[in-house]
């Protein structure tokens, strides 16, 4: 079963593309993704529920130094929420911003308010039960993926994906 899961994830990664979306980070800067990703390869944490921040946080101690020593690489947190009116987005972003002391974390947190169905289909995401971790280039190609909290095996897979030519 593990081999089947790994194979299906690899196949999905080969055909998935990050769709073009425009949104602001928690500092108010507008991004059109995937073009505005800073790195040639970008680790993207897609979360769908507030409590999934724990899963994202489980990756950060591994990803932060990995990105620092891997040229032209960056990472982003992408909370993904259903489309809502501007005042509600403002309130939600303000609440998230207030809960994050680190400027760098606020700059790399880009909240998407969109119709999640087409977004998830474009990325081959079938479930919102756990976070999805992707390596995406600026053209939107998904180069690698996994889901859920960090473990050493997933971390080594990510490290290999970031150093592959």
**157 contact partners, CB below 8 Å, separation of at least 6:** 144, 146
- Domain containing 49: what range? 2-163
- Band (27; pLDDT cuts 50, 70, 90): confident
Q: What pLDDT, on a 0 to 100 scale, did the predictor assign at position 10? A: 46
Q: What is the CATH number of the domain that holds 35?
A: 3.40.30.10
- Band (37; pLDDT cuts 50, 70, 90): very high
- Residue pair 37/45 in contact (Cβ under 8 Å)? The answer is no
Q: What angle do CA 86, 88, 91 make, to 5 degrees?
A: 110
Q: How many residues does the chain have?
A: 165
pTM score, whole prediction: 0.83
- pLDDT, tens only, 116-162: 999 999 999 999 999 999 999 999 999 999 999 999 999 999 999 99
What's the CA gap between 15 and 13, in Å, rounded? 6
- Residue pair 76/108 in contact (Cβ under 8 Å)? The answer is yes
- Band (50; pLDDT cuts 50, 70, 90): confident
Average pLDDT on 43-51 reads 95
User: How many distinct structural domains can be found in the chain?
Assistant: 1
- Band (98; pLDDT cuts 50, 70, 90): low
pLDDT averaged over every residue in the chain: 85
Average pLDDT on 13-32 reads 87
- Residue pair 25/112 in contact (Cβ under 8 Å)? The answer is no
Percent of all residues in the chain with a pLDDT value above 70, rounded to a whole number: 78
What's the CA gap between 123 and 65, in Å, rounded? 26
């Amino acid at each position: 079963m593990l081999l089947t899961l790994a194979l299906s994830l690899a196949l999905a990664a080969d055909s998935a593309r990050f769709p073009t979306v425009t949104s602001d980070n928690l500092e108010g800067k507008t991004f059109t993704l995937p073009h505005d990703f800073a790195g040639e390869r970008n680790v993207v944490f897609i979360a769908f529920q507030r409590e999934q921040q724990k899963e994202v946080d489980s990756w950060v101690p591994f990803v932060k130094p990995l990105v620092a020593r891997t040229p032209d690489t960056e990472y982003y947190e992408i909370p993904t929420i259903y489309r809502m009116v501007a005042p509600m987005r403002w309130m939600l972003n303000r609440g998230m911003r207030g809960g994050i002391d680190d400027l760098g974390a606020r700059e790399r947190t880009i909240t998407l308010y969109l119709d999640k169905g087409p977004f998830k289909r474009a990325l081959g995401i079938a479930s919102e039960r756990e976070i999805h971790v992707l390596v995406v280039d600026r053209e939107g190609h998904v180069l690698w993926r996994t889901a859920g909290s960090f473990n050493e095996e997933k971390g080594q897979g990510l490290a290999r994906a970031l150093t592959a030519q």
